[in-house]
Structure 1
């Protein structure tokens, strides 16, 4: 019963954090407020949930990574794949080596293998935290695509490095060849598992749906379970469940283009995923905050070890966090120079970004849930029974990196992003007006075919619909010749919204008079609201 109460308190904290973020006079990132709420629940009220890393990975990461992979712009992901891979693979290895030696130099009592393990688990970045920070000052689309793509792919490389660094700390042995082969298997098998499971589930669902039909909620539930299936299968294969979930999301985005899902399914699915994403993101950071009081106590008074001074810990945490930012900046600068040289060699156009672009990319490397959950998997003891060296210190430093990176990004990113220029997004082959025109022509052709096939039975209804589409076609043709498409769309939209408001007022009035049932009123209002949502997005 107590666990249920704590979960409900966490959900209330997620809700309250949204209001607190809007009330505060200073702009703080939502994850930071949620972490503070979790710390209050655990430290002040003496309630909290112990974070089990395996359960945390299974419950939170598959759905969140799945929806991120599903919704990330694929054109930007594949267009900037070279830059993304440089950050997702090269930067992780660079961070492991550089930050590992930096830690061992600052804290000689921490063995080098443990320092490498800590550096590996703080290497992956968190797109959720960056998105919350850039909500008020939007990040240029291209830079956002690169940061999101990096965060989706660098988890696997960071976890593989972490696994082998921990093994080296426990056994004292490390094999570069074995680590390289393991990384290839973990990455490739994880991606293959995500793609295969998503294809298999979608194909099986389509066969069952056509043969037996189904309830309305079944497609949504299948969609919600897909990332868990991909994650578990990949973990059974000792591959990356994280990459499997990402690959499943990207695969689902392509399968969705086949049009197999009904409009109602798409609407329900989007609503449910939005709510689930917000809830899981918030709960995840609240849960991380609940670990902070115990982490601080464990670092200050380690069992069987020498207590540390609080200010000594704070100084090392700030120095380590700053070192990670500098390492990221160095890698961004190096990879950018190599990219410019390569484009010059190939005779391509070169864009030389300003210093602010590199600084924004460096500060945007915010750490989050994976770092906290991963560092808590450090073993409690060595094979000989001795305590794992510097375990409490490593956990404290990892949690400090999360908090400091959030604070730094919230303070620096808005200033760095304001007025920042990036290379323009390439124009699509077909503009929005061209797509509207083509869709209207296709609709008219289908209606004309239906008019010929049905004869007089549906002539009046078809003629009415044809008039609407032909009117729209004339409007798009006139817009194309006059160049005033935006003004025409705005005028049409204002009249459409005016009519929809009148419809809504009438339905509500009839419902208040009990002239229609609540069920009928809800159904009519939903139809009106969906049509209005469509026009408000234009």
Structure 2
């Protein structure tokens, strides 16, 4: 019962954090506020929630990764796929090797495989924390999309490296060939499973709905269950459940372009997902804060594992490891950008020199979060011979400290680095949206004219009929609302009914045209999602 009460209090803390971050006289990232509230809860209850990493992974990560994969702009993801893969694969391996040797050099008593395991688990980044930090600061959209794409893919890379480092620590052996083959299977199988689960469930849902109908909430509930199904099936197949959830979300964005879901379903589903995202994001950071006092206490007791008696060495280790990670990320980002620029120039493509502030911002944006916390908690308590796992408490503390330090550094540094930074104007998105609205308006006018011909002329007075049609067509031609003059309550009701019919026809045509433009690649899925949501909300006003 106490655990349930703590969880309810943690949910309340998520709500309070949203108000508290606005009430503070100074700017503070929401994750840091939530971590602080979690620490307060731990002190108030004198005992915390026992964190089961398996349950944590299952409850929190699949829906959040699914939603990130669903909503991330696909045109940006594929446009910058080279840069994203360099960060998600190359940077992770570079970080594991470099930070692993650094940690072992700093703490000789920590075995090298354990040092590699710690380096691997702190290598994945967390886009949720970056989004919270940059919410009040203008970050280049392309850079934000690259960081989101990196974080969606580097989770699997970091966890696979962590798994092999942990196996080496337990068995004392490591095979690069075997690790490479397993990594390929883990990644490819996870992606395929995620695609198949979303496509299969969406097809079955459509067939059953056409034949049997469905309850109003069924599509939303099914949509919420898809990431869990993809994750669990992938884990059963010894593949990456994380990549399966991401692939399921990306596939869902393409399924949406079919336009088969009802407008009301899309509106309600968006509200439900927004609530789920806010709750799970907040709970993750509150839970981290709730775990921190126990982690620090255990690490302080185990400081002798590092051959030092002074607890201040814990802070020195944490700061040194964080600084090493930041330097490694900066070196990789700087080198990668300049190599890409050189290769582009060799191909005859003009590439501007990256601004140093953009390079620094990309380096600072490597914020660690949920994957690091949950992953490090999976460290075993004992070795195969029954002896305690070496430096376990110290490893957990250092990973948690890296999360906090990366959050603090990004919250302080990013706003200052990005403030006043002048970047080339990104007009393509606005031009794309204007083009989509123009095409949708033309389709709506055609649909109104067609619906005008199909309406029974005897049902309404000819003047009222013409007036209603002109009002709807004028809405799409000039995007201004015109007031119609009519006399008599019956005539007003009749005119409203005709106008409602014509506007619904126009909205349906608009939406269909937007989906068609997105399917053919004329506009991005992000633009189509934005405009379709506006159309759905307008249609909801006319639906009875």
Equivalent residues in 2 for 1:186-201, closer than 5 Å: 186-201=186-201
Residue deviations 1:202-254 (CA, integer Å, cap 9, x gap): 00000000001111100000000010011011111101000111111111111
283-292 vs 403-412, which moves further:
283-292
State the match for 2:527 in structure 1: none
| Alpha-carbon spacing, 1:226–1:277, altered in 2? closer, same or farther (3 Å) | same
Runs of 5+ consecutive residues of structure 1 not aligned to the other structure: 476-488, 497-526
Q: CA deviation at 1:449?
A: 2.6
Give the number of aligned pairs: 488
State the match for 2:417 in structure 1: 416
TM-score normalised according to structure 1 size: 0.87
Which whole-Å CA distance do the structure 2 matches of 1:193 and 1:301 have between them? 44
1:351–1:423 contact (8 Å) kept in structure 2: no
Which whole-Å CA distance do the structure 2 matches of 1:124 and 1:232 have between them? 21
Equivalent residues in 2 for 1:503-522, closer than 5 Å: none
Which whole-Å CA distance do the structure 2 matches of 1:101 and 1:341 have between them? 31
State the match for 2:108 in structure 1: 108
Equivalent residues in 2 for 1:267-346, closer than 5 Å: 267-302=267-302, 308-346=309-347
Which whole-Å CA distance do the structure 1 matches of 2:236 and 2:281 have between them? 26
State the match for 2:20 in structure 1: 20
Is 1:365 aligned to 2:366, yes or no? yes
Which whole-Å CA distance do the structure 2 matches of 1:532 and 1:400 have between them? 49
Which whole-Å CA distance do the structure 2 matches of 1:133 and 1:429 have between them? 25
1:60–1:280 contact (8 Å) kept in structure 2: yes
Q: CA deviation at 1:440?
A: 2.6
Which whole-Å CA distance do the structure 2 matches of 1:36 and 1:109 have between them? 32
Residue deviations 1:311-355 (CA, integer Å, cap 9, x gap): 110111011111111100000011111101110111101121111
State the match for 1:447 in structure 2: 448
Which whole-Å CA distance do the structure 2 matches of 1:464 and 1:186 have between them? 62
2:368–2:407 contact (8 Å) kept in structure 1: yes
Runs of 5+ consecutive residues of structure 2 not aligned to the other structure: 484-533
Is 1:32 aligned to 2:32, yes or no? yes
Which whole-Å CA distance do the structure 2 matches of 1:426 and 1:88 have between them? 28
1:41–1:47 contact (8 Å) kept in structure 2: no
Which whole-Å CA distance do the structure 1 matches of 2:226 and 2:18 have between them? 29
* Residue aligned with 2:428, SS: coil
Which whole-Å CA distance do the structure 2 matches of 1:155 and 1:462 have between them? 59
CA RMSD of aligned residues (A): 2.3
Residue deviations 1:435-494 (CA, integer Å, cap 9, x gap): 33322322232233333344424565763442123313442xxxxxxxxxxxxx6xx48x
Q: CA deviation at 1:82?
A: 0.6
Is 1:463 aligned to 2:466, yes or no? yes
Residue among 475, 491, 500 paired with 1:472: 475
Residue deviations 1:79-135 (CA, integer Å, cap 9, x gap): 111111100000000000000000011111111100000000000000000000001
* Residue aligned with 1:56, SS: helix
Is 1:406 aligned to 2:373, yes or no? no
309-318 vs 323-332, which moves further:
309-318
58-67 vs 417-426, which moves further:
417-426
* Residue aligned with 1:134, SS: helix
Which whole-Å CA distance do the structure 1 matches of 2:11 and 2:308 have between them? 35
State the match for 1:347 in structure 2: 348
Which whole-Å CA distance do the structure 2 matches of 1:414 and 1:319 have between them? 24
Q: CA deviation at 1:426?
A: 6.7
Which whole-Å CA distance do the structure 2 matches of 1:334 and 1:406 have between them? 24
1:104–1:112 contact (8 Å) kept in structure 2: yes
Q: CA deviation at 1:307?
A: 7.5
| Alpha-carbon spacing, 1:12–1:428, altered in 2? closer, same or farther (3 Å) | closer
TM-score normalised according to structure 2 size: 0.86
State the match for 1:154 in structure 2: 154
Which whole-Å CA distance do the structure 2 matches of 1:470 and 1:296 have between them? 67
Which whole-Å CA distance do the structure 1 matches of 2:264 and 2:404 have between them? 41
